Amino acid sequence: MLPIRIRSIGLEQTSIKQDALDSEAGAKRHVFGKCLCFHQLRTKKMFIDYVTLMLINMAGGLFILASFIWKDIDKENSQFWAPAFALPGMIAVVCGFAMTFSWPLPKPYNVAFGETSILLGFLFLTAAWSLAKGWELLPLGIYAFFAGLTGVLVGIRIMNLGCICLASYNPHG
């Protein structure tokens, strides 16, 4: 092994070790601390986490919903909001189906996040369709209330089953 020093602009010196990866291929790898080169990452399975995308998408969708309720819910011409509701709905449905069918997370999380994402995604898509057609939103709102209760119930069950680590609160420090 031959250590090589590299100076980066504005960064401290980093040591890179070079050694043979496979005697068959004669390929070399670079080890940056604990991070391996592309060749070694390519040979290992990669963990794909849809939860971050799904949660940011739902936060954006709920912000759009709040903006719609704040500004234009009483106006008759609210059709220009339809694409804003369709985009988070489509992302939620696609990611929810991908999570439900591929199970990239440990078992209880796939059901909790995937199926709830599908439910809320279809609600957003239905809201977009209703706004585009100029239909009344009250029946969808009644259904959305119970879908929201489902989301709250799933969240409570995740906490009660111990699927997440909750920080214990000690008022005395």
- 90 shares a domain with 152: yes
Radius of gyration of the chain (CA): 24
Domain contains 18: yes
- 21 shares a domain with 93: no
Give the pLDDT confidence of 42-68 residue by residue, as tens digits. 556 666 677 888 889 999 999 999 999
- 63 shares a domain with 89: yes
Give the pLDDT confidence of 102-145 residue by residue, as tens digits. 887 777 778 888 889 999 999 999 999 999 998 988 999 999 99
Tell me the C-alpha to C-alpha distance, in Å, between residue 115 and each of 15, 26, 56, 82, 157: 46, 47, 16, 23, 14
Q: From CA 4, how far away is CA 6, in angstroms rounded?
A: 7
pTM: 0.66
- 73 shares a domain with 37: no
Residue 159 makes CB contacts below 8 A (sequence gap 6+) with 166
Structure tokens at 32: 């940056």
- 141 shares a domain with 98: yes
Domain contains 101: yes
Count up the domains in the chain and report the number. 2
Domain contains 169: no
- 84 shares a domain with 30: no
Q: Between 161 and 164, where is the model more confident?
A: 161
Domain contains 70: yes
DSSP 80: G
- 145 shares a domain with 116: yes
Q: From CA 90, how far away is CA 125, in angstroms rounded?
A: 7
At position 34, the amino acid (one-letter code) is K
Q: Which domain holds residue 125?
A: 51-160
Average pLDDT estimate for 27-40: 44
- 80 shares a domain with 27: no
Q: How far apart are the first and last CA of the chain?
A: 50
Q: Between 73 and 65, where is the model more confident?
A: 65
Of 6-10, 76-80, 85-89, which gets the smallest average pLDDT?
Answer: 6-10
Confidence of residue 6 (pLDDT cuts 50, 70, 90): very low
Structure tokens at 112: 């909790």
Domain contains 170: no
At residue 112, the pLDDT reads 84
Q: From CA 119, how far away is CA 92, in angstroms rounded?
A: 9
Contact 96, 125 (CB under 8 A): no
Domain contains 146: yes
- 128 shares a domain with 62: yes
Average pLDDT estimate for 3-29: 39
- 69 shares a domain with 100: yes
> Any long-range contacts for 101-110 (C-beta under 8 Å, 24+ apart)?
104/47, 104/48, 104/49, 104/50, 105/49, 105/51, 108/158, 108/161, 108/163, 109/51, 109/163
- 80 shares a domain with 8: no
- 86 shares a domain with 117: yes
